[in-house]
A = this chain, B = another copy of it.
Amino acid sequence: MNFVQRLQLVQRKANSLVCIGLDTDITKIPESLRSLENPVLEFNRRIIEGTKEFVCAYKLNLSFYECLGEHAWQTVRQTLACIPEEIITIGDAKRGDIGNSSAMYAKALVDDYHFAATTVNPYLGGDSVAPFLKNADQGAFILAVTSNPGAKDFQYLKVKGRPLYEQVIARVKKWNTQKNCGLVVGATRPKELQRVRKIVPDMPILIPGVGAQGGDLKAAVRFGCDRHGELAVINAGRSIIYASHGDDFVGAARRETMTLRDQINAIREKYF
């Protein structure tokens, strides 16, 4: 089973395009957890337990773990162990290095932590991305148009009359021989998302930026999905995991996840 098929399977089974960003900030989790031995792990474990029927994926932005020091890598591993096998796990690492160094990063993220998918920065080109694509059942979402203000510094520069991100996408299409490439396009970029989906009708698109970043949910679903209303992976982080800062955080996250799933499914019903 290649990565696209894995994603389709879980999206159909859960009837959900929701991905939860487990970008857990120790300063924002409920007071009552902070005295535990590993508050971040306990928080993640409970969020996963309360939301796993309603999602197709969990995404861990590794910056949130790297900054906690050495033991946090163990937390990443233990968090992944809490996630049911069929749900897609995304190591949002945005790595990218020269070939042999990228192979080392892939050794960690792909072989050791065994993320179902990673995010990869394209600037260093083909040999930097290849190690993340070595296994057909593990995908890589390559950054195309990001959700942040700095996206405009380079990603929109015109190359032969077309923005740089389209050059990236043209290359990614060539790298996609095993059907395990995806793209990252921010929900704050609805016009670009529409354009990208036309260029890659069958490729998974990871869409961060709904929720706290204020991206357009309707556009994310309408323009991000393939013709079957699938293969958009819509990530929400803070708006779900911090839906409540009190001891009812699991219930609040659960309700928020169901609401987001239902909103997305209503938009899918309308357009697909």
Contacts and interface: CB of A to CB of B under 8 A. Distances in A.
A216 interface: no
Interface stretch (A8-16, A40-48, A146-154, A189-197): A146-154
B150 A126 contact: yes
Given A74-B70, A126-B153, A96 B108 contact: no
Given A70-B70, A94-B124, 11 more contacts: A61-B97, A63-B95, A67-B108, A69-B108, A98-B150, A124-B143, A125-B150, A154-B167, A157-B164, A159-B164, A164-B164
Contact of A153 (B94, B101, B125, B150): B125
Contacts of A128: 148, 150
Interface in A83-135: 94-99, 101-102, 104-105, 107-108, 112, 121-129
A98 B148 contact: yes
Interface of A: 23, 61, 63-64, 66-67, 69-71, 73-74, 77, 94-99, 101-102, 104-105, 107-108, 112, 121-129, 143, 146-155, 157-160, 164, 167-168, 171
Contacts of A123: 121-123, 143, 146, 154-155
Nearest to A125: B150
A122 B164 CA distance: 13
B64 A73 contact: no
A66 B105 contact: yes
